[in-house]
Structure 1
């Protein structure tokens, strides 16, 4: 089945058996927003112009989430920095929509329960391991030295931004991850656009992490 880069990120971000996230929402939500924007860049719908994200093609891609973001960029009509869009797009609602979509497709299963009999919690264990297995194989090949295609490079860079890379692939080379995350896999306009989006996602994650740490320490 065809899944978005954001959905590939989610498959790697949740444990297969227990369906628990390996990183917190503070890291994951901005990364998902960045993944959607980066996929639009890969598909030639947005590009970087004077450090701003601009529309380069308005034809829908046939995916509800990607097309919704594309429509928002088109309707906004202003040239804005990638960081502005990451902040606007990230949300728990986006994460839950993507998880629900994977569950409806039979890739994940949705299990609702309560912690300590009081607090509702939803787990997302794997139902069909084939989709994640293909993603893992692709990523592992690139981390092992193979030339990445744009989608796989984006996924690795976004994983790095979310601090998920070493959790999902514990044995991966830090140098190789950094090389891909910094856009060394290509030297064209698409790579520059994606690098800017990744930087925006990483900045949002860092800011949110600092805010969360400050709040918890002051409390």
Structure 2
């Protein structure tokens, strides 16, 4: 079973297993958002809009989730989700890229990328709450301004509206998953907005 962070990474990785340079910051933050979503869904941490609180230290089967959980547990104080997204993004991206690079060496990366994109687009088009992981990836990619990977021909405003509708549908069908995804996607979006504002108004 492909983890949500890896599923997200597969949607945008290049032939060698790495994301293209223009989108690497956004990709890393979306991957951390996916890890936060999964950990909250499994009740390994409490993901609120203003803080992340660990609920246990058990490891998972996913390197990104394990690193996020380790850092949250070691922090000593609750921090807002967007700070974790910003702080851990680059390391999370490197971890999934290593796995993607391994698939590239085995000659299986192209197939996995095609399958991942098809799965995520199918879930997004049908707002399929039965595949919550793929739907979460679609919402997180839009939050990270990578919505073209989900709906290539749609305008950004249409992608955002569709993602909001999908999130609302998930919240109605699976409330706990909807809350987790809502807070994770908001954290990704806010971290990118804060970084953009810092670049626009340095100092």
Smaller-chain TM-score bracket: 0.7 to 0.9
In structure 2, do the counterparts of structure 1 residues 169 and 58 end up closer, same or farther at CA, with 3 Å as the change threshold? Answer: same
Q: Is the 8 A contact 2:25 2:89 kept in 1?
A: no
Q: Could you report, residue by residue, the CA deviation over 1:22-75 in whole angstroms, capped at 9, with x for unpaired residues?
A: 842232222222122122122221223584222234322122321122122223
The two structures have a TM-score, normalised by structure 1, of 0.74
Matches within 5 A, 1:37-116: 37-48=36-47, 51-91=50-90, 93-104=91-102, 106=103, 108-109=104-105
Match of 1:35 in 2: 34
In structure 2, do the counterparts of structure 1 residues 26 and 75 end up closer, same or farther at CA, with 3 Å as the change threshold? Answer: closer
- Paired residue secondary structure (2:139): helix
Question: Which one has the largest radius of gyration?
Answer: 1
The two structures have a TM-score, normalised by structure 2, of 0.78
The alpha-carbon deviation at position 213 of structure 1 amounts to 4.9
Tell me, yes or no, if structure 1 residue 3 matches structure 2 residue 29. Answer: no
- CA distance in 2 between counterparts of 1:145 and 1:202 reads 23
Tell me, yes or no, if structure 1 residue 185 matches structure 2 residue 185. Answer: no
Q: Could you report, residue by residue, the CA deviation over 1:139-158 in whole angstroms, capped at 9, with x for unpaired residues?
A: 22222224223212220111
- Paired residue secondary structure (1:7): helix
- CA distance in 2 between counterparts of 1:85 and 1:165 reads 22
- Paired residue secondary structure (1:152): helix
Match of 2:120 in 1: 139
Q: Is the 8 A contact 1:9 1:155 kept in 2?
A: yes
Question: What's the Cα RMSD here?
Answer: 2.9
- CA distance in 2 between counterparts of 1:160 and 1:8 reads 15
Q: Which has the higher helix share?
A: 2
- CA distance in 2 between counterparts of 1:73 and 1:184 reads 29
- CA distance in 2 between counterparts of 1:191 and 1:151 reads 11
- Bigger Cα displacement from structure 2, 31-40 vs 17-26: 17-26
Q: Is the 8 A contact 1:53 1:79 kept in 2?
A: yes
2:185 equivalent among 167, 173, 198: 198
Structure 2: 5+ residue runs without aligned partners? Answer: none
Q: Could you report, residue by residue, the CA deviation over 1:6-37 in whole angstroms, capped at 9, with x for unpaired residues?
A: 22222222345996628422322222221221
Structure 1: 5+ residue runs without aligned partners? Answer: 110-125
- CA distance in 1 between counterparts of 2:109 and 2:38 reads 24
